[in-house]
Amino acid sequence: MHRYLLWLLLAMMVGGCAAYTATSGKVVLKDDSKTAEIRLSPSDRRVVEEYYRTHAGQKGATTKVQAVIGRALPAGTKTEPLPRELEQKLSPLSSSHVRLRVGQDVVLMDGKTRVIVDVLYGAAN
């Protein structure tokens, strides 16, 4: 009897793992008439890359945390707000999202949940 219970428990655990699906981290807001995708636009990416190319002396705090789209940024991770001069050149964000510098990366994330929506890797080298 115990053997059957162990097999059942094992099957349930494996089935639960197999049912897990990774998400892209893509955020899409919809209503009856409009759709908006939350991400770093191609033009914002160009502006950020150009800004840090011309302001190369601004080194970010080093961090060993890898920013992963769809996952929450761990609590305690060192972040810096983007310079005001740069932020003013970028597209406006909804009040629930923020752009931050995490080491050499620029991250777009939900300000409350800290779930990363998009990353520009190595932009602030």
Q: Is the pTM of this model over 0.75?
A: no
Please count the CA atoms within 13 angstroms of the CA of 4 that sit on its side-chain side: 1
Check residue 89 and give its pLDDT: 96
7 within a domain of the structure (yes/no):
yes
125 within a domain of the structure (yes/no):
no
Check residue 23 and give its pLDDT: 39
The whole-number average pLDDT for the span 38-52 is: 93
CB atoms near residue 99 (< 10 Å)? 21
Domain count, the chain: 1
Structural domain boundaries, residue 68:
2-120
**Contact criterion met (CB below 8 Å) for 51 and 89:** yes
Q: Count Cβ atoms within 10 A of the Cβ of residue 16 and give its class: 0-12 exposed, 13-18 middle, 19 or more buried.
A: exposed
DSSP state of 97: E
Check residue 22 and give its pLDDT: 38
What mean pLDDT, rounded, does the chain reach?
79
The band of 65, judged by pLDDT with boundaries at 50, 70 and 90, is: confident
Assign residue 89 the CATH number of its domain. Answer: 3.10.450.160
Check residue 73 and give its pLDDT: 94
